[in-house]
Every structure is written in structure tokens, then in C-alpha cells.
Chain A
């Protein structure tokens, strides 16, 4: 067991540098925010800020799950498949007159099993995370669409009025999605910062071999990370279905997965692991939210929106390369 001293000593020895990237992104977000407030009509209104945050809340929840995996130096490319297929199956069960609790329990079990399989492949079979989750994501989608679902879209049955009402639920004029995002973010922040498990994840991301040598149960922790990631996908999917009253599995073909990685990387969680935290995810999510909202108000066509988003990702990656240069010390086997 690591001593208390090493627990409080931050795993990020280059803490100053990672703050620098986060600061760059934060300043960028603030700059775009101020510019939009001045030049765009109605941008600064409270209701638009709510719309803006709500628009990226789902992305944020998914990015929190991805962030936890990336900090432990993994990656989970199966989240969108798990999101789509699990929730589509749940809706299918509801259509087959299962009750909401039983449909929820069945799919939840399936999701935990899927996350567990991902973790097992990475931790015990030692398949690189990028390949293991790419394959498992395709597998989940393939088996779901070919064996369990009859079409791309599964609609919510009319009798699920409670579930549907959840999509419009508001407290103090703020949609429930935003509370979910902030709540999950807060729990994840506490878990990463103040629990032993959270610190293990940082150690493993920073130096996996050292973490294992010091006695951290690395394999079970990896499995747990992927289960958490799968659960986040499921939660995001349920929120999505509550709002849209349906689930379209075609979302697997969308750019959502890249957007999630974009948020994680742009926020400053390095893909080499061990760096960053939930704060980075929140900053990254807000930057994307402000960008998307401003571009939509300006009526910029989707193709150009993609171009602008991609440019920001490239800038963030280049900045990451400068701020956290790879050398013999930091370049480790297993890097993505």
C-alpha cells in the first residue's frame, strides 16, 4: 500500500504545465464567450446560457466517463455503441410490456457485463484498449442490431409518460440534464481526488509498471474503469431517450465518439494518462458548448462547423505536444 505521503503528493509532477494547457483553453472559452456576448444578439441571455449548457450536458457526461478511462491511460471506443444498443434494447423491452424497473434492471446488468468484458480484455487478456474497445463496440452494435432490434429506431411506448416527462423535468427553470451533468461531475471529482481508488487511477496512468510494483490491484481497477465508462454511456443514453422519446442506433455512425474524445483532449487530459481531472472535462465541454451555440446562432453550415471544431482539436493537440513534450522519461510503452 502506498503511504499517505505519496497519496497527497500529486501524481502529476508536471502540474504547472498541465494547468497551462487548461488555462489556455479556459481563456479561449472566455474570449469566445465575451466576443459572442458582444456581437451576437441574445447570446448572453440567461435562457440562452441554459440552452447552451443543456446542449452539451450529454456530451459532458460521456466525456466524464471517457476522462476517467483516459486518466488511467486507457480509451473506450465502445461507449456510443453501448449507449445506443443498451437504451434501444431497454425501449424494446418496454415495448414488449416489461415494466420500467425490470427493463432498467435487465439492461443495466447487460451494460455492466459489457463494461466488464471491456475491462477484462484490457486488464487480463492484455489487448490494447484501443483495439479491444473498437472490437467490442462493433460487436455490441452488430449483435444488437442483427439479433435484438428490428430497425434503426426504437420508439418509447406511449404508456411511459413518467419516463417521457423526465425529458422536460426542470428545477428552478433549469433542465434536469444540467443537474445530472454537474452532479455526476461532482461525484467523479470527489472519487478521483479523495478516494484511494481515484488516486490509484492516477498512479496507473502516470506509471503503470510502478503502480503495479507498489502493489496496486491494477487489473481490478482497470475493469472497474471500463464498467464506470459503460455506466456513464447508459446514463447519457437514458437521458437522451427521455428527451427524444426514442433511440436511433444510427448515432453509432455519427461523430459523437470523436466529439467525446475532443472534449477530453481539448480540456487538457493528455492521452498518455495520469494528467488532468474533471475540471478539464468541464472546461472542454463548455468550450465546445460555447463554440457550437455561437456557430448555430451565426447559422454556420455543418461542414464549416466541423472544420472549426477540428481546427480547435488540432490546436489543442499541438499545444499538448509543446507543453507536454515526449521524451525518454515520459514516452512509455502502451502509449496511444
Chain B
């Protein structure tokens, strides 16, 4: 009889196992909750004044809090040393993970290693660095440059002067150097297109305006300009307006895809935008945090790179929701706090 009983029990277990029935113990929700419960994630962008940082803080913050974690933000306000201090402080307070926007290739590499040794997962966003931490999530800046070049080549058209200008950021940041490389990659396939000048804006809109004015003055037949950042594109656009070339010079740029960017497209200030998909990029980051904390991996065990898919947006593509909005996010946060 005992044998039959065991068999029946075994069959019961089999059946129960095969068909998720009532009363089954699912480890999922508990594991999910445990992974982040009471743990802290700290975001350290280059500056909170930046649209990207506002977006990350909202989307990653919401996801972390929803999973039971605590979310904090440090604002180095464009100061690399202040950022290093924020990472050092974070190492002391032992959060579960830090999400850092690296300012350059080198500065934070040693700190990342120390954070990992202290048991903190390090996720780098947006700007690549020389140190491969647990994960990098961001744009492939070379792809961005390729898309901008493609947009300008299409905007100029086959019957244009085929002369284009570049307003670069600087000669130091990977984001600028990689965009330049991307533009060159595309131009290899379009040998009839020619870069007539490629001055630096040093990421300043007024400088961008002045160098773009000189560029247009020197090459009045230029048919398109790639500006490496939406903030400086404001200056380049001012130079195009002042030269009376609106509609004659196609301006492509890259940005965070915030509502202000869509406004620039709407007002014909810029003609094409290669935007960072901040909501989905943030989702990649928060998913990675959730995975790493459930996986049993230790900081430094694995390395992951996730490149955010980018696309070209022009005025004709604009729809409500094409851009995300800091204002809407703030309203959502205020509503959630009630």
C-alpha cells in the first residue's frame, strides 16, 4: 500500500508541476521583491541640468522604486571632481548599484574598480570609457554620426552642391570623435559628397554660431551641416537664419529627444534629429539592475554592452509622443506622490 501511496503522491506532484494550479508556491514575485527591497541605486550623471539626466532620473527612478528599492541622485553639475567625490561617497554608503555618466575615457576608471571591489554594481551610461564595468548602456556614437550624415545626404539631395559642413564638439570627447568617425564612414560610400570645413564649437552655442557663420560665409553653396549636439545646433541654426539660408541648408543634429528637440524640428530650426531613446535606454538600465541583483553574480563577474537603437526623425515624422517630456514626467511624479 505504501508503494501505491508513494506512486500516487508522485503522480500528484507531476500533475501539479505540469499544470500551475492553485496553491503553487511561485518563487518569482518574492525573488523580484527581495532583489531590490531596501537597497539603493544611485544615479551620478554629469549634470542634472541636462535633459538626458532628467530623463534617466525619472524613468530609472520610477522602475527602481516600483521594485521596492530606494533611488538617489547626485548632481556634480559638470564638475568631474565633484562626480569623483560622489562616487567615493557612494562607495562608503554601499548602495546595490551606481549608474554613472562618465565624463571622459579615463577619469573614473579606478573608482569604478574600487566600487566593484566594495560589492557595488557599476553601470555606465551614455559616454563610453576605457574601463569595462558591469555594463555599459548608451548610444553608439559612431552610429549616431552615420545616421546624421545619412540624413544630411538625403536632405541635400543628388542635385545639390554636395558640400557639407560639420560643427564638431571638441577633439577630446569620445562622443565627438566617434560621431566624426561615423560621418566619415558614410562619406566613404558617397565619395561625391565633400566636407568643406569641420570647426569645433567646444560645446558652446555662441561659438557654434560664430564658426558656422564663418563656414557659411566661406562656403555659401554648402547644402547641409551636421552639428554634433542639439544645444550647439541652436547656434548653428542662428547662423543659418542670419545668412538667410533657412530651408537651403539642411541641419542635422543629435539630442536627448526631449520635447524641446521636437519643438526645434517643428519650428524648422533643425531639419533632422537623431535622438537618444531615453525611455527605452532607461528601461535597459533598470532591467539590467534587476537582473544583476537576482542573478547571483558578483560585481565584475560579467560585462554587458547594450547599445540603444537610434533613428532619424524629421518634421514629417513628428507625432504626439515622438519626444518625451520633462514636464509630463514631473506631473506624473507629482501625481504619484499624492
A residues near B (Cβ < 8 Å) are: 41-42, 45, 47-48, 51-52, 54-55, 58, 145, 150-153, 155, 158, 167-168, 175, 240, 243-246, 248-251, 253-254, 256, 292-293, 296-297, 299, 301-303, 305
Contact = CB atoms under 8 A, between A and B. Distances in A.
A334 B29 CA distance: 70
B174 to A, nearest CB: 16
Nearest to A295: B199
A292 B210 contact: yes
A145 B234 CA distance: 21
Contacts of A254: 202, 204
B205 A246 contact: yes
Interface string B196-224: 01111111111001110111011000000
Contacts of B218: 41-42, 48, 297
B235 to A, nearest CB: 6
Contact of A168 (B197, B199, B242, B260): B242
A243 B212 CA distance: 13
Contacts of A175: 242
A249 B213 CA distance: 22
Contacts of B284: none
B86 to A, nearest CB: 16
Given A250-B47, A296-B210, 9 more contacts: A41-B218, A47-B217, A151-B49, A245-B269, A254-B202, A299-B197, A302-B170, A302-B199, A303-B171
Contact of A240 (B199, B206, B214, B263): B206
A153 B213 contact: no
Interface size bucket, B side?
A: 35 or more
B79 to A, nearest CB: 8
Contacts of A158: 263, 267
B231 interface: yes
Which 7 pairs across A and B sit closest by C-beta, in order of nearness? A152-B49, A302-B200, A55-B210, A296-B214, A51-B213, A302-B202, A243-B238
A52 B203 CA distance: 20
A274 B231 CA distance: 40
Contacts of B215: 296
B238 A151 contact: no
A168 B238 CA distance: 8
Residue picked from B170, B215, B217, most chain A C-beta under 10 Å: B217
A42 B49 contact: no
A175 B205 CA distance: 18
Given A153-B260, A158-B267, A168-B242, A251 B214 contact: no
B51 interface: yes
A64 to B, nearest CB: 17
A253 B78 contact: yes
Nearest to B246: A168
B114 interface: no
Contacts of A155: 260, 263
Contact of B214 (A153, A293, A305): A293
A168 B269 CA distance: 14
Given A51-B217, A299-B199, A301-B171, A243 B209 contact: yes
Contacts of B203: 250
Interface centre among B49, B206, B214, B241 (most CB of A within 10 A): B214
A249 B47 CA distance: 12
